[in-house]
Each structure stands twice: as C-alpha cells, then as structure tokens.
C-alpha cells in the first residue's frame, strides 16, 4: 500500500467493507489490507466471563474509564512488552487512529491504579460494530477488566458486533469464535444497519465493576 495515501475516510470505508490495515513491523511505515478467510468475534449475547475474573471486576481494583487518555493507550499498545518485542502498530497507524479518535470513531478503555495507566484497549466504532485493535496490561488482568467494561458499554449502546480480528488464547476464555468470511460479512452488514449505536450512551466516563457486569447480564 505504499502508493496509496490512506485517509481516515478511506479507513472507515475499509472497515465497513470488512477489511483492516496492518504493518509488518513497528519500524516499517508500509501498510497492507487484511481480509482473512476466518474472522474472530466475541458474540455479545453469549460472552463468557470466568467466575474468578468476575470477582476481580467487582472488587474495582482498577478505575476503568472511557476515552480519558486515548493517546497513552495507543502508545502503550504500540510499545514492546514482555513476550512481544515488536508490534504492528507503526507511525502511520498511530496517526490514522488518532485522527479517527478526534472524529469520534476510535475509542479507548483505560484501567488506572493510583492514577497510573496500567492497562487498556482501543478500537474503532462504526454504526453497530466495534473493531477491537489492540490491548495491553502492566498489571495482571488489567486488559481483561478493560474488555469486560468495553462489552458492557457496547451492550448498553446497542452494538451488534464485536470484531476481534484474530483469536488468541487470551480471548478464547471470553467465548471468542472464528467465523467464515461470508458469515462475518453478513454480521457486519447487519451491524451497519444499527445507525443509532453509541458507545457513549451511558454518558459517564467511568463505572463500577458491578455496574458493568449488570449491564452485560441484563442487556439483551
């Protein structure tokens, strides 16, 4: 994709069409489009929350917020970490998703401990679909707690699709599944009809763990 200037508008059209960009390496400025044969999703209606994790969510060890420091979450996801010496989040990707954030289409969930950012995730929202991009943690379970709070906001906001792109062992415990490209596109088309979905529907930057779990279990 070296010869094509990818703009935020092109990026949104790509997501609506079922593809997303990646790079080979943090230090490689080139981007390429990905449209895998199988796509990872977490079904919002049947998400599984391990009992031990639900207990930790209720304990509110972390203060969990929405869109309070998108740039810091993005930077942390791009940085090397234990077992992840390099990432695919290069400078062009950081610039593009920062633009999407300012346009209201990219969002972050942050986990704080004593005012220190210790975990979180970011992704893109478009109509009733949320496309998860990356997550990080500096404290045990921080990224998992962030994911639970994300799901609570998606269910409260009327979303139909949580796209994880690929499935990891980390995501399998939440009931993540792979579906064929054709089924993914059908689900995506349905999510694109949810024009009133809104991740900010709760109108509050943070919530308790108990509140998040209640939204997940009570929202159809």
CATH number at residue 19: 3.40.630.70
Helix, strand, coil content of the chain in percent (nearest 5): 35, 25, 40
Q: What is the pLDDT of residue 64?
A: 98
Mean pLDDT over each residue of the chain, to the nearest integer = 93
User: Residue 87: which pLDDT band, with cuts at 50, 70 and 90?
Assistant: confident
Q: Does 206 reside within a domain?
A: yes
Q: What is the pLDDT of residue 24?
A: 82
Strands 129-137 and 161-165: parallel
140 Cβ neighbours under 8 A, 6+ residues apart: none
Tens digits of per-residue pLDDT, 137-176? 999 999 999 999 999 999 999 999 999 999 988 899 999 9
Q: What is the pLDDT of residue 124?
A: 98
Q: Does 2 reside within a domain?
A: no
CA–CA gap between residue 43 and residue 178 (Å, rounded): 10
Q: What is the pLDDT of residue 1?
A: 43
Domain containing residue 15 = 8-34+41-218
Q: Does 208 reside within a domain?
A: yes
Tens digits of per-residue pLDDT, 89-103? 899 999 999 999 999
Q: What is the pLDDT of residue 169?
A: 85
């Amino acid at each position: 994709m070296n010869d094509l200037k990818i703009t935020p508008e092109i990026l949104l059209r790509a997501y609506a069409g079922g593809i997303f960009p990646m790079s080979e390496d943090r230090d490689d400025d080139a981007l390429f489009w990905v449209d895998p044969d199988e796509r990872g999703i977490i079904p919002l209606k049947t998400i599984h929350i391990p009992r031990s994790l639900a207990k930790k969510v209720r304990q509110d060890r972390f203060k969990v917020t929405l869109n309070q420091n998108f740039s810091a979450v993005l930077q942390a996801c791009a940085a090397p970490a234990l077992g992840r010496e390099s990432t695919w989040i290069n400078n062009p990707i950081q610039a593009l998703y920062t633009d999407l954030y300012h346009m209201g289409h990219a969002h972050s969930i942050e986990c704080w401990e004593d005012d220190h950012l210790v975990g979180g995730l970011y992704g893109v929202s478009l109509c009733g679909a949320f496309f998860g991009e990356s997550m990080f943690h500096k404290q045990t379970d921080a990224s998992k707690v962030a994911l639970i709070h994300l799901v609570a906001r998606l269910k409260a906001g009327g979303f139909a699709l949580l796209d994880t792109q690929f499935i990891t062992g980390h995501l399998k415990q939440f009931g993540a599944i792979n579906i064929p490209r054709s089924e993914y596109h059908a689900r995506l088309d349905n999510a694109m009809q949810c024009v009133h979905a809104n991740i900010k529907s709760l109108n509050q930057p943070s919530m308790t763990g108990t509140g998040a779990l209640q939204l997940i279990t009570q929202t159809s």
